Structure 1
Amino acid sequence: MSGLTERIAAAKAKGRRLVEDWRVRRPWLDHLIRTAQRYELQSGNRLAGAVTYFAFLSFFPLIALAFAVLGYVLSNDQNAIDALTQAIDDQFPGFAEQLDINGIAQAKATAGIIGLLGLLYAGLGAVDALRGALREMSMTTTPPLNFFLGKLRDLVSLILLGLTILASVAVSGFATQATTTVVSFLNLDATGFNTGGLFLAGLAAGLAADWLIFVIVLGWVAPPVGPFRYVARGALLGAIGFGLLKQLAGLLLSHTLGNPLYGTFAVIVGLLLWINFSARLVLYVAAWTATAGLSPPPAPSPIPSSGSPEDEPSKNGAPPGQTGGSSAA
């Protein structure tokens, strides 16, 4: 039994040495390991849960306020409202069916007031929870802002994030629909090259909007601890992951809609899961950004000699114990 225990311990030690060697030779792997360690050390899942709660509460007032504003701006353009409804349905299948969007747009005054009040409560709470989570991930020692300045900064962050998220959803949703329209408007042949190029252009625009979202989150909501180049790289990584999550949202909501176990709560459950995954992605990116400036572990050093200085060869090549012109007694 003791022999088996010793072999297991030896295998673990060999594995640790192998991982340490890989971390020294491959900085990107060391960075990923430090990111995961920072996320676990700071209880990232618990922080993501707090952000999810307020973000979920603020989602519905945000939708109501957006369509109330559209009710004022596009009151005579039903086609534009239908297009935005389809864009939301493309990103969150089945969600638009649960809302009386035309009713919200027509009752613009009441929906606008309710949406604004709800968004101020839940939205500011979501930004505050996000700011606290980002500070935890960065392990910053900078004291937080006072109450009034903090709420003012949260309000600006909420406005910036709301506008950018709506732009990201709209751009991603319209990318596919606009392809055929642009091809016919420019009198281009509906070949795979033309439609594919326009579709990729729409995806690039959506990626740029998602990158801007993460720049705001990492660089404004909570002041970064490193230079802006780390924020820009982390924002690009987060934008790619967020784009994949938006594609995953369609599959996730389609699965929950077809599962009778969830029933009428299918859209709500799917939306809640998607928000939680997005919050975890944001915190992983924050951990990646916060650990970007740290150095990899040093390479193993040779074991120093235990002999005395007299036992080492002198600089002029004399034997140990002798100097240039004298001999040992």
Structure 2
Amino acid sequence: MGKVTGLVARATKTKPVRVVAHYSARGGPLMASGLSYQAIFAVFAGIWVGFSIIGLVIQQDIGLRNSLIDTIAAAVPGLIDPGDGSGAIDPADLLEAGALNWTGALALAGLLFTALGFLASARDAIRRIFDLAGPSTNFFLLKLKDLALAAAFGAALIVSTALSTGSTVAIGFALDLVGVGSDSLVATILGRTIGLVVVLALDTVVLAALYRILSGIPIPRHRLIGGAFLGAVGLGILKALGNALLGGATSNPLLASFAIIIGLLIFFNLVCQVILISAAWIAVGMADNGIAADPAAAEAARAERERIAELERIAADARRPGVFARLLRRLDPRQDQADRAK
């Protein structure tokens, strides 16, 4: 029992265990559940509006269109239907989306409501992980900031898709020059590697933006990049195992009619937990090194502690024997001289 107790004590001092304890103590699992519920509606509305706006452009570029659909399908397993009915959205419906009809207008309104609501909830959740209160910024300024971030995230997705497509074409052209076919094993490995690197970089940038820009927390750069990269790796693992996880979680025959939606809810719940656990990793690391998440509040708390300590010292001095006699001698120099003469 002594050895077991010692092992448990050493395990609880490790950073991963302390991060999970910090995450749980701040209500992380509950906040992740709420975020996942909002995320699924924000994603559906965002995809519809996105294809409504850029549909006329990407329909002219078949390569970019297919790459964008494949990127979305890889990012969220079970969202895009590959043709066997196992996805929630038919790609043909996306390509027919229109921004000028009433469905596009309703989707746009839904996007503004759900996406901005998700970002606001994500901000509050991340700040709670860092033991911070809500931001004091004007409400309308916060919404404008959230809207700009949502547009930036969508633009980053399109740019990463274009980069992935362009790099694949460039690799194929370079391999053809050296006599290696684009369908060879080397070309396949290089293409997938570059695709994984692009996705990992995009996820790292998005998470860093969530932790630093959206939440408004002054996180040191090296800790921000380290925590965001850790979260991006976790998201990559979820994407790689997404179909297997969702297949096992939705195998109940009673849930067959709702398997896709339930699977997406489970996936988004795991994604939100990875996001918040990575935030907890950064928060614990900053606390271990004495880095305040809110420098102004930390300075005010330090000044208050010093003021209280000074009051306690004065009170302790006042309780010492003879303190009043010494105080009177200091106030009356003649009495002090008489005492010295004696």
TM superposition score category, shorter chain reference:
0.7 to 0.9
Aligned residue in 2 for 1:43: 27
Asked if 1 retains the 8 angstrom alpha-carbon contact of 2:73 and 2:80, the reply is yes
Aligned residue in 2 for 1:101: 91
TM-score of the two chains, using structure 1 as the length reference: 0.72
1:121 and 2:113 correspond: yes
Structure 1: gaps of 5 or more residues: 1-10, 24-28, 297-329
CA deviation string 1:1-25 (max 9, x = no partner): xxxxxxxxxx3x66454455567xx
**Residues 77/163 of structure 1: CA separation in 2 closer, same or farther (3 Å cut):** closer
**Residues 70/261 of structure 1: CA separation in 2 closer, same or farther (3 Å cut):** farther
- Give the deviation of 1:62 after TM superposition: 0.8
CA deviation string 1:191-236 (max 9, x = no partner): 4344323321221111111111111111111122531211110011
Aligned residue in 1 for 2:147: 155
**Residues 91/255 of structure 1: CA separation in 2 closer, same or farther (3 Å cut):** farther
Aligned residue in 2 for 1:212: 205
The within-5 A match list for 1:1-329 is 11=1, 15-20=4-9, 30-78=14-62, 80-92=64-76, 94-97=78-81, 98-108=88-98, 109-110=100-101, 111-140=103-132, 143-165=135-157, 170=161, 186=177, 187-189=179-181, 190-255=183-248, 260-295=253-288
- Give the deviation of 1:145 after TM superposition: 1.9
What is the CA–CA distance in structure 1 between the aligned matches of 2:221 and 2:260, rounded to whole Å?
A: 38
Q: How many residues align?
A: 279
Asked if 2 retains the 8 angstrom alpha-carbon contact of 1:161 and 1:213, the reply is yes
What is the CA–CA distance in structure 1 between the aligned matches of 2:242 and 2:235, rounded to whole Å?
A: 10
**Residues 145/21 of structure 1: CA separation in 2 closer, same or farther (3 Å cut):** same
CA deviation string 1:72-128 (max 9, x = no partner): 213434554344334444455553334343344334123542332111000011001
Asked if 2 retains the 8 angstrom alpha-carbon contact of 1:48 and 1:280, the reply is yes
CA deviation string 1:113-160 (max 9, x = no partner): 233211100001100110010010001257532312222222222223
Asked if 1 retains the 8 angstrom alpha-carbon contact of 2:23 and 2:277, the reply is yes
Asked if 2 retains the 8 angstrom alpha-carbon contact of 1:91 and 1:249, the reply is no
What is the CA–CA distance in structure 2 between the aligned matches of 1:254 and 1:161, rounded to whole Å?
A: 29
Name the SS for the 1:261 alignment partner.
helix
- Give the deviation of 1:277 after TM superposition: 0.4
Aligned residue in 2 for 1:315: none
Name the SS for the 1:99 alignment partner.
coil
**Residues 52/271 of structure 1: CA separation in 2 closer, same or farther (3 Å cut):** same
Single out whichever of 88-97 and 40-49 deviates more from structure 2: 88-97
Asked if 2 retains the 8 angstrom alpha-carbon contact of 1:91 and 1:173, the reply is no
- Give the deviation of 1:259 after TM superposition: 5.6
Percent identity over the alignment? 28
**Residues 162/107 of structure 1: CA separation in 2 closer, same or farther (3 Å cut):** closer
CA deviation string 1:264-308 (max 9, x = no partner): 322211111111100000010011001112338xxxxxxxxxxxx
What is the CA–CA distance in structure 1 between the aligned matches of 2:247 and 2:115, rounded to whole Å?
A: 27
What is the CA–CA distance in structure 2 between the aligned matches of 1:257 and 1:35, rounded to whole Å?
A: 30
What is the CA–CA distance in structure 2 between the aligned matches of 1:259 and 1:175, rounded to whole Å?
A: 42
Single out whichever of 150-159 and 44-53 deviates more from structure 2: 150-159
What is the CA–CA distance in structure 1 between the aligned matches of 2:284 and 2:213, rounded to whole Å?
A: 18
Asked if 1 retains the 8 angstrom alpha-carbon contact of 2:208 and 2:228, the reply is yes
**Residues 103/292 of structure 1: CA separation in 2 closer, same or farther (3 Å cut):** same
